[in-house]
């Protein structure tokens, strides 16, 4: 997989480190010369100096071959523009943007960004969230509430432990998108076997969520 990351924060460094471990081809675009040099020294990612909204820098970063572009700068306008250029000019199939001001989240989605997330809103939801499942935390609804994203922690009694994703009898339109195992972020396949203390990100439709959580957690 070819991933382009725009930004220079510590988050960018950690993302790049995890993606490189997954054998992804990672390119980072950063406009600060000193920070770009640091990231190049700290990771095995390719680093391009410049603006993430610059067409020429995106081309240099390999946008025509990229599978995903992540824009995680501190400026919402830059993140939005970078995603739009990547989609419309280079045909990048998946764009993900950090939304620093949660009021801009819906605007990003309406303007075509595949995934727009607000860390502020997610943290607020975590503080307010109440759930029937002690080991499950609902992170955020997407697509005007038609899709839910939940974080699930597997304990030793969870029926999903020891099973592969193919063996899980979750709904057809539901998806385990990510597994966090210790310090490792895993993009799962059907053959991936689940372990105790795994954290799963489950994407599901609201009408199927309770059943899917019961299949994974064993809660009723």
Higher-confidence residue: 178 or 47? Answer: 47
Starting at the earlier edge strand, list the strands of the sheet with 175-181: 136-142, 147-153, 199-204, 175-181, 184-186
**Range of the structural domain that residue 97 is part of:** 2-122
CATH code at 167?
A: 3.30.70.1450
pLDDT digits over 43-55, tens only? 999 999 999 999 9
Highest-confidence segment of 36-40, 57-61, 164-168, 199-203: 57-61
In this predicted structure, the answer to whether residue 130 has a pLDDT above a threshold of 50 is no
Do 142 and 107 share a structural domain?
Answer: no
Do 31 and 109 share a structural domain?
Answer: yes
Please report the pLDDT score of residue 126 as a whole number.
54
Q: How confident is the model at residue 77 (pLDDT cuts 50, 70, 90)?
A: very high
Percent of the chain whose pLDDT exceeds 90: 47
**Residue pair 173/205 in contact by the 8 Å Cβ criterion:** yes
Do 48 and 100 share a structural domain?
Answer: yes
Residue 9, classed as helix, strand or coil, is coil
Residue 116, classed as helix, strand or coil, is strand
Tell the residue number behind the tokens 């419309």, with chain if given: 88
pLDDT digits over 132-162, tens only? 444 454 545 554 456 777 888 898 888 999 9
* Residue 44 CB burial class (10 angstroms; 0-12, 13-18, ≥19): exposed
Where is the domain boundary, 122, 140, 161?
Answer: 122
């Amino acid at each position: 997989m070819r991933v382009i990351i725009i930004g220079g924060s510590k988050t960018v460094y950690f993302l790049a480190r995890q993606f490189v471990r997954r054998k992804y081809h990672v390119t980072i675009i950063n406009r600060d010369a000193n920070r770009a040099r640091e990231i190049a020294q700290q990771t095995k990612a390719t680093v391009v100096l410049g603006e993430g909204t610059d067409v020429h820098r995106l081309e240099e970063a390999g946008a025509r071959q990229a599978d995903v572009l992540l824009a995680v700068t501190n400026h919402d306008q830059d993140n939005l523009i970078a995603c739009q250029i990547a989609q419309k000019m280079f045909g990048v199939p998946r764009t993900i943007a950090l939304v620093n001001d949660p009021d801009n989240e819906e605007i990003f989605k309406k303007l075509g960004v595949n995934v727009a997330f607000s860390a502020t809103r997610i943290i607020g939801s975590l503080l307010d969230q109440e759930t029937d499942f002690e080991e499950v935390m609902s992170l955020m609804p997407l697509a005007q509430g038609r899709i839910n994203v939940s974080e699930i922690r597997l304990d030793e009694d969870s029926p999903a432990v020891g099973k592969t994703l193919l063996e899980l009898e979750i709904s057809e339109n539901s998806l385990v998108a990510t597994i966090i195992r210790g310090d490792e972020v895993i993009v799962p396949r059907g053959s991936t076997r689940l372990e105790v203390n795994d954290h799963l990100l489950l994407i599901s439709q609201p009408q199927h969520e309770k059943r899917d959580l019961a299949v994974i957690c064993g809660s009723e």
